[in-house]
Copies of this chain bind each other. A is one copy, B any other.
Amino acid sequence: MNRNARALSPVALDVESSLDLTARYERVRGLTERLAAPLSPEDQTSQSMPDASPTKWHRAHVTWFFETFVLERYEEGFVPFDASFRMLFNSYYEAVGPKFPRPQRGLVTRPGVADIADYRADVDRRMTSTIAREGNALDDLVTLGLHHEQQHQELLLMDIKHLLSLHPGGEAYRAQATPDSSPATPAQWLECTGGLVEIGHDGAGFAFDNEAPRHRHFLEPFAIAERLVTVSEWRSFITDGGYRRPDLWLSDGWNTVQSLHWERPIYWLDDHATAHTLGGVRRLHDAEPVSHVSLYEADAFARWSEARLPTEFEWEQAVAEHAGDLLDSTSLDLDRLEPWPANITADETGRLRQAFGHCWQWTSSAYSAYPGFVAPDGAIGEYNAKFMSGQMVLRGSSSLTPPGHARATYRNFFPPSARWPMTGLRLARGLAS
């Protein structure tokens, strides 16, 4: 079976979301524990950089979210599991009160991993009974908490990958399957006519606040690449002096390349043939999507290719026009936590491929509010709105994204220098109108 090209019927997703809330809660919560399971207490404690967090912090913080935003409001006779956790596991919610400094999360050795398991079990027990009592009234808030936990599941994997990469030699999170070694084929261009299109989530099913409101946007005609940029293409960019030619780079990008001495994607070894992965160091395959590149690198590559990155609106419209019901695998697979080469079969020709399940795809759009966007009141309003500055939108999903978490309207965002997320790119170019 070709793992890269299976059709997910929309029904399957409906089934998923039709699970009752308790079942969905248990499913998501259980996955977090499965993701942490291969990691020792030592692995779960360290923080590799200010942007990353320890595994045990992720496990506690997502639990804190339920305790603070659900139990504190809805549980009868609420008593916190540990009063010190309110500050300790607050990430960035100013409205909740003080928070422990982010760069020092790796210094909080207590509570330990076993204590956090107790914390999770206690909150799960209380959540289950609160959900049972309150019923549908909690659906929106708990669903938000579950999507929040899914985001942290991906962060947990990104962060542990980064930590293990700093170990001399590179340590593995877990053994990984080997991708096929088929050669890369030239990317085909898919054309989109543009015009006045609708962008954003239509309100059916869960979406984050930043995906709304759905609104009109005018697009000039454009073409978009059928597949992601590959390792093989990236090697050509390097060989052609891509990291040494200032004319290819944004000014901020060139400053970054020079000050951080970038010469290749973050996890590539200097042979350009092997890379650090969650499965340890392995061979790179020509046809696999290049991953762990920054917006600066993606933008320079696009310029070198005489193309450009799509806007987030173009990306969303291209999926609407060209992806049809053919989606790549969107199920997070612990045996296959890396992007997979795109092996195109006959029936897929002319369709947008690798939209989901491989790499988040940088767009040229700065992250900002949609027209008419209003942030929710209170702490929940801090979820997305306050980050609408200095970040770029990524679309799609990655091989680290949990099942049921991807959407065509999903707006992920990172600073343009970020390389530790599972990021890649897809090219676009204008068409004469």
Q: Which A residues fall within an 8 A CB radius of B?
A: 40-46, 48, 56, 84, 87-88, 92, 94-95, 100, 104, 106-110, 112-113, 163-164, 166-169, 171, 196, 215-220, 246-247, 249-254, 295-296, 299, 308, 364-366, 368-369, 371-372, 382, 386-390, 416, 430
- Of B42, B167, B252, B254, which one neighbours A45 at CB under 8 angstroms? B42
Residue of B nearest to A367 (CB): B366
Q: What separation, in Å, do the CA atoms of A163 and B104 have in the docked complex?
A: 11
13 further A-B pairs in the complex, CB-CB below 8 A; given A43-B109, A45-B46, A196-B196: A40-B41, A42-B109, A45-B109, A92-B251, A94-B246, A104-B166, A109-B164, A196-B218, A218-B218, A299-B389, A366-B366, A390-B390, A390-B416
Residue of B nearest to A246 (CB): B94
Q: Which of A40, A92, A249, A296 has the most CB of B within 10 A?
A: A40
Query: Is the beta-carbon distance between A168 and B41 smaller than 8 angstroms?
Result: no
Query: Is the beta-carbon distance between A48 and B107 smaller than 8 angstroms?
Result: yes
Residue of B nearest to A55 (CB): B109
Known: A40-B41, A366-B366. A250 touches B107 (CB 8 A): no
Q: Which of A46, A250, A389 has the most CB of B within 10 A?
A: A389
Residue of B nearest to A388 (CB): B250
Q: What separation, in Å, do the CA atoms of A215 and B44 have in the docked complex?
A: 52
Query: Is the beta-carbon distance between A253 and B389 smaller than 8 angstroms?
Result: yes
Query: Is the beta-carbon distance between B167 and A108 smaller than 8 angstroms?
Result: yes
- Of B171, B216, B250, B308, which one neighbours A218 at CB under 8 angstroms? B216
- Of B42, B386, B416, which one neighbours A250 at CB under 8 angstroms? B386
Known: A84-B168, A220-B371. A42 touches B113 (CB 8 A): yes
Provide the residues of chain B in CB contact with A251, threshold 8 Å. Answer: 92, 386-387, 389
Query: Is the beta-carbon distance between A167 and B110 smaller than 8 angstroms?
Result: yes
Q: How far is the CB of A167 from chain B (nearest CB, A)?
A: 6
Q: What separation, in Å, do the CA atoms of A196 and B46 have in the docked complex?
A: 52
Q: Which 7 A-B pairs have the closest CB atoms?
A: A366-B366, A94-B246, A42-B109, A41-B41, A250-B389, A251-B386, A43-B109
